[in-house]
Structures are given as structure tokens and as C-alpha cells.
Structure 1
Amino acid sequence: MGHLNNRRVLLAVCGGIAAYKSAELVRKLQDAGAEVRVIMTRGAQEFITPLTLQALSGHPVHHSLLDEEAERGMGHIELARWADLVVVAPATADCMARLAAGRADDLLTTVALATAAPMLLAPAMNQQMWKDSATQSNLATLTERGINIAGPDSGEQACGDIGPGRMLDPELIAEEAASLFESGVLAGQRVVITAGPTQEPLDPVRYISNHSSGKMGYALARAAIEAGAHVDLVSGPVALTAPDRVQLHRVTTAKEMLDACMNLVNDCDIFIGCAAVADYRPVTAAEQKIKKSEEEMSLQLVRNPDVLAQITNCSPKPFSVGFAAETEKLREHAIGKLERKNLDMIVANDVSDSSIGFNSENNAALLLWQNADGDGELNIEQCSKDVLASMVVAQISAIQQRKR
């Protein structure tokens, strides 16, 4: 079964009596986890108001080919790039003919040509119009191009005729849309991921930190999104762009990271502690820059709160994954951390190897887990951090399935 979690669906509404069903379709798509934006043709606005679909979708309705409100005024290109899927419902006979001909003289047809996203059409028209050879020829052309068709249904029509041509029920259209995407192994789950370093201030210009780039945590966020999860990313200071569709929470210190995580843990199904949290912080941070004076300076440190341990002490405890960045005795130290912190799984890597250490694009890891069926182990050879992230997500899902 496919999923629409975190998918971006662009719904195009054409001018037919079935346009009133588009309001329900917006809701069905949203209920399935999709973000929905709407295009309306001029004819569609005669059947249902843009304000209705704007209120339901939470976004302005698009209808102009050159949108002055859009960045650079190129609204059709922005929408084409934004969409993961374009759904045309209702797709009238005229719309199908224009799409088959490759027209690009309104917003809908232009987006259809400019997008790389799959398309799903839900035809709706009089039964004789549907049966007409011209419509059937257009249908064949569209399907040959890889455009997906949902329906039409058969039954009594608004004009009084009986036969094929009714738009499929919105719930069934939403199911057809979901089927175009692979099932997400974490579909519907809420995942909190920590990433990057923390910085513990000495004074207004200096701090204690580490070499973590945040790349592994951000890769995990992307992998979890692709697996259908809702992702909150609690990130220390990094020079990275937040992954698309992730809820980003920026923090600086270990205390700020703990506070952010504790605010999210109650709604969390999975917690992945990938951040390199500073173990210690200065007892006090100077209000002004510390000036160079003596030959030696002593710095008193105090232990930071253990973010991962506090999460695993929560009740109920989310499925908890930790990371162990080690320079020696990789397996031994990882097992100790797995047991000591009551983790469900740990990802251990050797940061002394510069090819897979901090700031590198690649990684290798030893995955260890514990469950009722006995402990498990998986050694992952060097690969990109995105590939490793996908394998970690897959292993989390596999362990969850066994626990069920």
C-alpha cells in the first residue's frame, strides 16, 4: 500500500459540475498526510469559489499563468517544481483534449508540461462525451505518455443520463494517488532527530565545541521523510540547509537541545540522538571577552545534561537510537552505551578514520540492537551518509516489526 505522508499534491480543478467534489478531495488528501495546493481553471471558478479551496487547503488558490505574487512572477514553474504529484479532478473532456495536444496557454496546461511529477487524471463528463472517439483517442494518447487515469465511475449523471463518466469518489481518488508512491516504512510515525554539535560559551566570542558537521543527522532526517515520517530536527549550529519538509528547531547549547527534545518527546514515536552533544560546559560564561593576561588559565567545567539518557527515561519511552563516535574499541564501547542508556539500537562509527570521520561525505557503521528475540548486529561498509541513513531507517522499521 502506498502513502501520501509528506507528499506535495497539486490539485487542478477544471470546469465541470463535479468540481464541487474537489473540496472533499482536498480533505481526503490532507487526511492521508499530503500537503495540498490548488489550481483552478476559469471554468472551475464558475462552479466553486477559490475562497472555499483556499480555506480548506490553507494556501492561496492559483489561477494565473504569470503570477505577480510568485517569486519572479513565474508561478507555473514554481508550482511545477513544488509538486510530487499533480492530480486533475475533475478532468473534463476539454482538459483531456488540451493536455493531449500539449497546449500551454493557461496555468494548468503549462504546469503539466513543466512538471517532472507524475500526473493522475480523474475524468468527469457526460457519458456520450466519454464514449466519443475523440475523447477515447485523447485518453489513449495520455496513457501512452504515462499519465495515470482514475475512473471514471458509472451511474446517473447530473444531466439525467446513465453511463460511464461520473468522477470517481474523492476517497478512491486519494487511494489511487497514494498507490503511485512506494509504501513508507515509517509512514505516519513522528520522529525526532538531533544533529550537529553544541556550543558551550566561554565568553561572548569563544566556546567549547567539537568537529561535528551535522551531515549524518541531516541525512537521517531526509531518509525519515522519504520513509513517510513526520520529522522534527533539533539541530546545533551547522552550515547546512534544512532538508525539505522537515520541522527545524535550531539550538546552540546542550541545555537548549535538551529543552527542545523534551518539548517534542510526548508526541514522538522514534528518537534518534545523532548530535555530538558537548559533555561539559564552563561553570560560568564571562559577560565580556576574556583578555589575554596570565601565562596560564584554569577553566572549571561542569557536566552537561545527558539528552539521550533523559529521553530514554521518559514514560512512555520512544523507540530510541543513539550514536557512538569512537576512536578505539568500537564494539565494546557501543555495547556499553547501548545497555547503559537503555537504547533500542545504537549506530557506532570510528571517527579516527578521516575517510569516514567528521565532515566527510561518507560513513561506515556498526549497528547493534537488543530485543526480545535476542541481540542483533549489522556491519555496514563505507558508503555515502545518505545511503547509511536509509539503511538505519530500514533497520529501525525491521526491529519495530519484530517487536509487534
Structure 2
Amino acid sequence: MLRLVGIHLDVTSSRNTEEVIRESARRYHFLYERSPSISMVIGLDGRIQDVNGSFVAQLGYEKEEVLGQLTVDLVAPAHRERVAAQLARDLRGDSTPQLDVDVLARDGSVRTVLFSESSAMLFEGETPTGILITGMDITERKRAMEQARQQQQQLIQADKMASLGVLVSGVAHEINNPNNFIMLNGRICSRVWADIQPILRQYYEAHGEFLLGGMPYSEAQPRIGQLIAGIGEGAQRIKHIVQNLRDFARRDTGDLDRSVDLNGVVESSITLVRNLIDKSTSRFTLSLARGLPPLRGNFQQLEQVLINLITNACQALPDRERGIVVETHLEEDWLLVEVRDQGVGIPAQNLERILDPFFTTKQDTGGTGLGLSISYNIVKNHGGSLEIRSRTGEGTLAAVRLPAWKGGA
């Protein structure tokens, strides 16, 4: 007798489960590939196992180029250490914060990616195989935020300058009033001294030596005239400085259509920073070419440029034995003004960024990093160029080229 023993196994449920798993995998793959976020699968050895379409599109790599590479090799060198430390925590399953990272794109540019906090651990069965990390390219957002910050700083600086203008105008008025008395009384004293000279001379010839202002007459006579003349010259210099300060502080209309004497701009700028020059160097040379044609522009704005350049030259000098040379000359249809110092010079890595807004090596002394950037824009708006050449230990040359105004001659 033949007996058959069969076992009936209902696999419907298992097939349904497999189909659910496959459908879930398809959905995951679709979302992974189509996600606008940059996504990477990183193995436990720190190497890239997979990247999604957004990674390829936004960073420019083909997928095959990066598979198997160490993740940190795609990170800008300055960020690699902190990225490696956070990646190690992620691979251990530790909670990690958001991290913005400068990533090297295929074309050599640097993109800033904000990676989300706490990556997802991936498993095969019960065994961890790697992590999934996602991030958003925030390069443009970061650039916009930096531009907004710079504009805000410029507004703050402009407000400071406006306040300074009001202050300078008030101080100039207060200085001018007593200085007018000095100038007037100096002229009166000069006339009185001239009138009294014959009387004093007759007295000296009749009676011999006598004291005048605590000094023997024979010594005082030649000196008093010089002292009185010095009072008048000093008062005139005060008047000139105050006028330059008032002109510098006056609200600028921005008009670039005026005839400007370049030598006059240089002389006015030197007057305003003369005290700083005298403190900084005993070897200051000014050489102004004669017969220069005018240029078309704005006197006050160009004066600001020269003040910035001369101030920088003074601050670069390590001692008063080092010199500064300011000179103007004409090259064909171009007016040139050069400020040359024998200072410490600018390192090559800083020279590349010296005209960038807010780049400064003088944070500790209140530097804002706006002086040269503003100067560059002023010169550019005048149709000219500003060039900075320097070598460490050999000094710096700041050269401004401006077009001569043939119609203003």
C-alpha cells in the first residue's frame, strides 16, 4: 500500500511581505535619487559607497569618480579635521549637531553644504554597514548673508562718518572763533612792534642795554619780530586745516562731474594727516609734477582715497627712519599719484585679499577693512585703477591711475 504524506505551506503572507519590502526599497530609492538634498552613503571605513542625483548635479562629479574615495578627501583642507571627528561620532551612532562644510566641487570651486544633525545608521540584518548623511547646498544663501552683513557694516560706517561730519563741523566752528582773534591781534601786534622799534632803538643808543620781556634788548629785538610773525603763520595754518576738515566732513553729493586738481587733492590730504606723518617718519618726500591737466571727478572722494593710502603708509613704518614718498606725474592721458613707503610690506597671501571689503590685519587697533575697499571703488568710479604692490620687508607701493579730463583743460 502506498501512502503519500504531504505538507501544505501557505506562502501567500511571505510573498506579500517580500513585495512590501521591494516596494519600500523602490520608494526609498526614488526618494533618495530625486531628493533635492545632497545624500551620501558612507561605509564604516569612511569611504563613499553611494551618492544621489543631487550630489552629482550640484557638485559636478560622476558617481563612479567618488565611489570608494575617503569622504574627507572631498572636504576643503581647513575643514577636514572637524569633519573627520564628527564622521567618527556618526559612525559610532552618537548624536551629532548640524555642520556646515566647505566641499570641493569637480570644477575646483568650493561649495558650502549644511549637513543635517545625526545621520541615519544603515544595517544588513543586525549588522551595521554604514550611515546615510544628507545636506543642503547653502553657498548662495551664505553669500547673500555675507553681502547683507557687509551692507549693514557699510551703513554703520556711513552713519559714523555722518556723525563725525557733524562733530567736525561743530569743532571747526569753535576753533575758528578764537583763531580769528589770534589772527587779528597778531596783525595788530606786528604793526605795534614795527611802530615801537625806532623808540626802543633810540632808548638803547642813549641808555645802553635793558631788559625787554626778560631778555636783553639786543637779543630780544631780532627774535620778537620772528615770534610775532610765527603767531600769524600758525593762525593761518590753523585756518587752513580747519577749512580742509570742514570740506572733508561736508556731506558729499556724489557728483563726479567737477574739474579736480590732483595736486590740490594731494596737498589737502597731506595737510589733514600732517601730524600723523610727522609722528611716523622723519623722511617724508612730496614731489608734485607741474602743469598737470585736471581730471573729472569729486575732490572730496579722491581726498578720502589719498588720506587712506597715506595713513596706511604711516602705519606700516616700524620707525621714524623709514621714509614715505608721495608723487604725482603724467603718463600720456593718465594722471598718476603714487604713495611709496619703506614699511614692513604685505605678505603675499594677504596681498591677494587686500582690496576685499572687511579684510584687515589691524583688528586689534580698530581696523575695519573698509579703507582700501572703499578707495578701490572710488577710483573705479572715476574710471581709474588702484594697484597695490608689495614685498615683505621691502615696503609697499600704492599707485592710483586716473584719466585726464581733456574737456576740462
Higher helix content, 1 or 2: 2
| Greater RCO (Cα-Cα under 8 Å, separation 6 or more) | 1
Larger Rg: 2
> TM class by shorter-chain length?
under 0.3
Instruction: State the TM-score, normalized to the length of structure 1.
Output: 0.24
- Given the two structures, how large is their TM-score scaled by the length of structure 2? 0.24
